[in-house]
Amino acid sequence: MNKRFVAVAVLLAGFTGVVALTGCNDVSTDLKAPTYATGIDKNELSSKAFMQKFPSQYASYMKNNESEVMTEYKGSIAYHKNDNVNSLPNGFKNAQPYLKNLWMGYPFMYEYNEPRGHTHAVEDFVNIDRLDAFSADGKGHMPATCWNCKTPRMMQWIAKYGDDFWSKDVNEFRSKEMVTQEEAISCSTCHDPATMELRPYSEPLQDWLKRSGQDWTKLSRNEKRTLVCAQCHVEYYFTEKGNGPNKRPVFPWDLGKNPDAFYEYYKTHGKKDASGKEGPFADWVHAVSKVPMIKMQHPDYETFQDGPHGAAGVSCADCHMQYMREDGKKVSSHWMTSPLKDKEMRACRQCHADKTAEYLRSRVHYIQEKTFSKLLEAERHSVKAHEAIRLANAYTGERAQNYDTLMQEAREMVRKGQLYWDYVSAENSIGFHNPTKQLNALMTSYESSQKAIDLAQQATMFGISPMLAGNIEKLVPPILEMSRELQQDEAFLMRHPWTKMLPVMPKHERVWKGQDRLDKMANAAPKM
């Protein structure tokens, strides 16, 4: 080999090394984001208005419409998350059969689906059975707060109604005149339309920044590339009247972002008693065990922030909005979806340039498989804990002297067990965003449920023990079907020992289909 060639080769090798590193730096540490003078109205809500000025971001955003590709555990088909019986598109092999059991008495028991792309947000929301489409008065029996994470039209509603907005009925805003599908999560959800700077429109995130003394304009670029997602991909709850504006959404982060912190936080923030003292917060009371419960909602950000990537300063956008090269320019893919859908795993290899796609994919699957199997075990154990409480509540044999004290502690352990399980269940990466924390949470869930089972047995002097022995799938079969319509059918409810305990709903025709009101009141719907 001649000398000159070697020199070039070394130089090239060095150069490639530099390129690989710069590639990584590009992903995380450029200080300034590009800004523009768009000439687009600052109140623009529809993505289409941005198409001409930003064709590649717009085109990639429209890929969020894709709704046919599944990955091993996730992906974009909106299948029922409890259904492992039917094949896709309704059911999926890695489903969680006990979801309806665990949410008995709460609207989540009617329908809960795998999420898909942002462009579907309004459509999927107005079609979900959690909103009441059958009530005689046309109300949805949910607070308007739910709209917060579906459309940037929120900004106008808050400007118009202030804090009176949240506790209005969700269906007051359900019509096509109020909000169009084009106004589902759109450019103005994350960008100031005039400059394209990232901004938080979400009220609960703004509240949190204020409460924790942070100024958005002073945050680093990378923090913003994560926090725009944390407007919605987080745990939240709605304030009780008397603790603040009724039904205003709040991020419960004051004690920390882990399940321990949330469990502590929700020991207060509930309804006030006669003396003005705050009781524990509850989203609902479980219809079978009568335990006041907490529902976790997709704590993706909280899970991620102290995981291997979050702690290292990687942002959500690094993996879910990978850079594309277009005419020599770097643009962010706005197809915010699973990075595993890409055969080449390009999002990951922006940083892990030395690893193959197969290797990286196998690491994700390794974490997910371990997490998912423990998730299902914790889930079954929560079901058993509710069943133990149900049996002990109804037990007529000899009770322990301290029955009430034991049962109080047992109920607390059911609530705790399910909260820790749901932190992992409702989170969207099946462990990947933070493997250690998620397995730790599942262990605590399992332990707490076991404590509940032990205590309920002690309270009944082990009288219920024979009824708890054996396979939980036999004792309490998964409830695979349940809907608002089925709850009007008494014969259906009588078929399972748990659905039996639900109130029968009065028979009523469907009043809403998506955004259309079907009954004679349709023309009397309020107009903005």
Q: Which of residues 301-320 bind ligand HEC (CB under 6 A)?
A: 301, 304, 308-309, 312, 314, 316-320
- Look up residue 168 and give its two tokens: 């209005």
- Look up residue 160 and give its two tokens: 């118009």
Write down the least CB distance from residue 427 to ligand HEC, Å: 9
- Say if residues 307 and 434 touch (Cβ distance below 8 Å): yes
Site for ligand HEC in 174-213 (CB under 6 A): 185-187, 189-191, 196, 198
Alpha-carbon torsion (39, 42, 48, 51), positive or negative: positive
Q: Which of 40, 44, 45, 50 binds ligand HEC (CB under 6 A)?
A: 50
Residue found under tokens 């082990």? 462
- Within 8 A by CB and 6+ apart from 12, the residues are none
CB closer to ligand HEC out of 216 and 492: 216
Write down the least CB distance from residue 225 to ligand HEC, Å: 5
Site for ligand HEC in 430-489 (CB under 6 A): 432-433, 435
Rg (CA), the chain: 25
Site for ligand HEC in 114-153 (CB under 6 A): 115-118, 120-121, 124, 149
Instruction: Considering only the stretches 96-104, 298-306, 442-450, 457-465, report the one whose residues sit in contact with ligand HEC under the rule CB under 6 A.
Output: 298-306
Q: How many CB atoms lie within 10 A of CB 400?
A: 17
Alpha-carbon torsion (330, 335, 340, 342), positive or negative: negative
Give dist(CA 268, CA 271) in Å, integer: 9
CB closer to ligand HEC out of 82 and 460: 82
Site for ligand HEC in 232-251 (CB under 6 A): 232-233
**What is Dmax (Cα atoms) for the chain?**
95
CB closer to ligand HEC out of 175 and 231: 231
- Within 8 A by CB and 6+ apart from 210, the residues are none
Residue 331 in contact with ligand HEC, rule: CB under 6 A:
yes
Q: Which of 45, 104, 142, 229 binds ligand HEC (CB under 6 A)?
A: 229
Q: Which of 40, 45, 54, 421 binds ligand HEC (CB under 6 A)?
A: 54
CA distances (Å), origin 270, targets 282, 298, 435: 7, 21, 31
Q: Which of 258, 289, 332, 438 binds ligand HEC (CB under 6 A)?
A: 332
Site for ligand HEC in 4-43 (CB under 6 A): 24, 27-28, 33-34
Give dist(CA 150, CA 165) in Å, integer: 15
Q: Which of 377, 403, 421 is nearest to 464 (CA)?
A: 403
CA atoms within 13 A on the CB side of 488: 11
Write down the least CB distance from residue 184 to ligand HEC, Å: 8
Q: Which of 44, 45, 74, 100 binds ligand HEC (CB under 6 A)?
A: 74
Q: Which of 131, 179, 294, 360 binds ligand HEC (CB under 6 A)?
A: 360
Phi-psi group of 292: left, alpha or beta (phi > 0 → left; psi -120 to 50 → alpha; rest → beta): beta
Instruction: Considering only the stretches 96-104, 211-219, 327-335, 409-417, report the one whose residues sit in contact with ligand HEC under the rule CB under 6 A.
Output: 327-335
| Number of residues near ligand HEC (by CB under 6 A) | 75
Site for ligand HEC in 390-429 (CB under 6 A): 428-429
